[in-house]
Structures are given as structure tokens and as C-alpha cells.
Amino acid sequence: MQTFKLINHTVTMSRREIIRGLAAGSVVVLAEGCAYNEELGRSQLLFVSSGQMAQLAATAWTDLKKEQPTTKNRKYTDRMNRVAPKIITASGNNPADWEVQVFDSKELNAFALPGGKIGFYTGILDIMENDAQIATVMGHEVAHVNYNHAGERYSQSTLAQTGLTVAQVAVSGSQYQSQILGVLGAGATLGVILPFSRRHELEADKFGVRYMARAGYDPNEALRFWENMAAQNKNGPPEFLSTHPSDATRIAQLKREIALL
């Protein structure tokens, strides 16, 4: 597979064109190409490194915290502070390098951004019956970051048109942070949805349940959580699940994975 280099030239674009380019993944950030990932058992198309994705996420995360209210309510923060260090450690990362925030919103949503940024919404925490169910979703989101799914998704749709670089997008982060977050994985909240593929979602489930088991949580609670979500989704999924595999597919894979633990 061909190796690409960074394309660095500036073009004048309207806001609509930038949004369209981001949503299409046509921001040009090209580096390595294709590499085999032994843990995933497949090749990943990656024109952008985890470090470059973290750079892209940093400004958007800062702006999101300014625009979306966070909560200091210990009903939520104590639960997150118990679970996050365990899952992050179990995933092979250092909790000191990660930041976790709880956003005050009724939305059933959670996400993680490259560079170790985790956001949970009070709405989804309200329906989680115990810490193991928090660990279910947190493990899933951390797995997305560990395997640079955002970078892979970004690369798959790059092969490029607009001429924007990571540096240019990062500089524009304050103005376009919601669109940037859409590219990075929080689009279900902020309106520009470039979904992870079903493969990415099922990989995140697979490794996420491993992280939660390694951290000492009962992996069967992952089944309970998704079964509860399936029961609530009879009239259609909430945004958190709108681009994800069906509940039946997810639950079937989790059962297979738990049997191997």
C-alpha cells in the first residue's frame, strides 16, 4: 500500500465547505499508510498517528468543556473517579495521562477522544445500575482510543480534496469544534455523524469487556447493561446507539467473548 506524505497548502473555504470536508473525512493529514495490527488480527489503514489525532482533539475538548456544562455532583463524579483509573490501568494506560469529565445533560451518551479524553453524560449514568455497567461503556470507549479507530476512520475517508492539514484544523478548533468532534467520535452528540464502522464498534466491545474483567468487574454486567438498553430502544435507539451494531449482534458477541475469559 502506498505511503503518503503531509500535504500542506492553504485554500479559502466557506464554513459550509469546511463542515462538508470534515464530515466527509477529506481533511488532509497523511503519514504512514497500512500496517498489520496483531491484536486486531487485521490491517489498519492509517495516514494519521495517534499523536496527530490527539493534537486535533485537544482544542476541541477544551472548547467543549467551555460550552457544555460539567457537573461537580458527587453522585456522578465519585462513580466515575472509582471506575476510570481501574479501566484505564487495565487497558495498559496511565490514569494520570487521561482526563475524565461528566457533562450535565440528559442525553444517553459517552465518548472518548484521542489523547485520553473521556466524557460521560449524566443521562447515561442515571440508567447504569452499578460500577460494572459504567466500566462496560468506559472500556468500550477506551478501546476506541487504544486502537486509534478515530484515526483509521479518518484515514479511510481522507484521500483528499480540501487541502486542510491537522495544524490548520487545530488552529480553527475554537470556531469549528463541534464539527471536529464529529470527526473524532463525539458527533452523535454534536450533530455531525461520521460513524465508527460496525467492525470498530464490535472490536471496542471485545476489548472493552476484557478491560473490565481485568479491572475486577463482572463482565456479565456488560450483557445486563446492553439488554437493558435494548429494552429501552423499542421505539428506536437513542443517539448514543444510532450508528452502532444492533443490540442482538452486540450481545451475541459479548456472550462469546465472556465465555473465553
CA distances from 180 to 53, 109, 202 (A): 11, 17, 24
249 backbone φψ class: left, alpha, beta (φ>0; ψ -120 to 50):
alpha
Question: What do you get for the CA distance between the two ends of the chain, in Å?
Answer: 36
Local structure of 238: helix, strand or coil: coil
Q: What is the mean pLDDT of the chain?
A: 74
Is residue 43 classed as helix, strand or coil in its secondary structure?
Answer: strand
pLDDT band at 135 (very low <50, low <70, confident <90, very high): very high
H or E element that contains 141? helix 131-146
137: closest CA among 150, 124, 149, 148?
A: 124
DSSP codes of every residue in 198-224: HHHHHHHHHHHHHHHHHTT--THHHHH
Contacts 24+ apart (CB under 8 A), 9-13: 9/163, 10/163, 10/168, 11/162, 11/163, 11/164, 13/162, 13/164
Write out the DSSP string of 60-111. HHHHHHHHSPB---HHHHHHHHHHHHHHHHHTT--GGG-EEEEE---S--EE
Distances (CA, A) of 18 to 55, 60, 173, 190: 18, 15, 12, 16
Residue bearing cell 485537544: 58
pTM: 0.72
pLDDT of residue 163: 41
pLDDT band, very low/low/confident/very high, at 244 (cuts 50, 70, 90):
low
Instruction: Supply the pLDDT for residue 185.
Output: 53
pLDDT tens profile 169-222: 444 444 445 545 555 554 433 333 344 577 888 899 999 999 999 999 999 999
HSE, CB side, 13 Å, CA atoms: give it for residue 15: 6
Task: Say yes or no to pLDDT of 239 above 60.
Answer: no
Q: What is the pLDDT, as a whole number, of residue 152?
A: 81
Per the CB < 8 A criterion, the answer to whether 246 and 202 are in contact is no
pLDDT of residue 22: 36
Highest mean pLDDT among 55-69, 141-155, 184-198, 199-213: 199-213
Domain range summary for the chain, segments of one domain joined by + = 50-148+173-260
Q: Which three cell numbers stand for residue 73?
A: 455532583
Cβ-based neighbours of 234, under 8 Å, separated by 6 or more: none
Q: pLDDT confidence of 63, banded at 50, 70, 90?
A: confident
Give the Cα separation of 246 and 145 in Å (integer).
22
What pLDDT score does 46 carry?
A: 76
